[in-house]
Amino acid sequence: MAATQTRPPAPKMPEPPPSRHTPVPPLRGAWWKWGLGALMAYVIYGAFFIAKGAVNFTEDGNTARIVFFHVPCAILSYVAYAVAAVYAILYLTRDRNLQTDAKSATGMELGFLFCILATITGSLFAGVMWGSYWNWDPRETSIIVMLLLYASYLVLRGAVSEQPEKRARLAAVYTLVALIPATFLIWVVPRLPWLQSLHPTTTLVRPANTSLSYKAVLYPSFLAFTLLFVWMFQLRYRLLQLMARKAGRLENE
């Protein structure tokens, strides 16, 4: 009988080039993160002590303070979906690179987080403004359906977690198919003339509706939350890369 043959060692996966930074977005270094911290501290301080007055809110203006947190979260939940959709298209049509899929997944995960924050802050506003935390207002309905779309995406990814390529394909397709109801919820529902909504619509659109002190906090809050999104995107994407690298190492042991 032939002697027992030992299996040749499995070929090692080539190590990806080391990089502390993600290619997109291009912000690097720590300087902008310190700046973000200072900006966010200013926004929080300004929301309670600097900003005064906006139309369509209570007379004392206190209900308008949540706008500095609610509106950026709502906008970013939609931006995150757009980012995820772009990477989904790139994955399917260009490179089939799992790093592109990781960026799409990161966008959807952050979109889910910001959607939750927008729902909670919006609900708090509704409770104070209209006496009821949930009214099935068209805006409230659309944000909760967005939440369901994000959650479905995460459920689908979780169902195929052992097969990265298949998971990436199916998740990308679902992102694009769900883009239709998402677009309808984001752009169409708020503008349907027959849907009466309690949600303020013109406060931030017309500059005359907000005071100078309000604008002095509002615009920095948009910038601060956008930079926060970028930072969280970088962190989450880097974490996914490290997890993928570790999984590749485990398979080769």
Partner 1 sequence: MGRYVDTVGSRGVSAPARAMASGGSGWLAEAWALLLKDLRAELRTKVALSTVGLFTFSSLLLLSLATATLKEKLALDPLTNQMRPAWDAAGKMGLLWLLLCFAAFSGLSHAFVHEEETGTVMALRLSMSAGAVYAGKLAFNLLILFAVALVVTPVFMLITGMPLGAPIVFLIVMVSGCVGLAGAATIVGALAAKARGSGALYPAIGLPLLVVFLLLLLNAANTTFIVHPPALRLVRDIGGLLSYGILLITVSALTFSFVWED
Q: Which residues contact partner 1 by CB under 8 A?
A: 92, 141, 145, 148-149, 151-153, 155-156, 159-160, 166, 169-170, 172-174, 176-181, 184-185, 189, 194
Is 57 in contact with 200 (CB distance < 8 Å)? yes
Nearer to partner 1, 44 or 154 (CB): 154
**Shortest spacing between CB 247 and partner 1, in angstroms:** 19
Nearer to partner 1, 20 or 94 (CB): 94
3-class DSSP state of 19: coil
**Shortest spacing between CB 148 and partner 1, in angstroms:** 4
Nearer to partner 1, 151 or 247 (CB): 151
**Shortest spacing between CB 82 and partner 1, in angstroms:** 16
3-class DSSP state of 41: helix
**Shortest spacing between CB 222 and partner 1, in angstroms:** 28
**What is the phi/psi pair of residue 91, to 5°?**
-65, -45
From the centroid of its chain, how far is CA 44? 20
Nearer to partner 1, 174 or 237 (CB): 174
User: Between the CA of residue 227 and those of 18, 23, 104, 190, 207, what are the distances in Å?
Assistant: 24, 16, 18, 26, 24
List the end-to-end C-alpha distance of the chain, in Å, as a whole number: 29
Is 125 in contact with 66 (CB distance < 8 Å)? yes
Alpha-carbon distance 218 to 47, whole Å?
A: 8
Nearer to partner 1, 24 or 173 (CB): 173
**Shortest spacing between CB 136 and partner 1, in angstroms:** 11
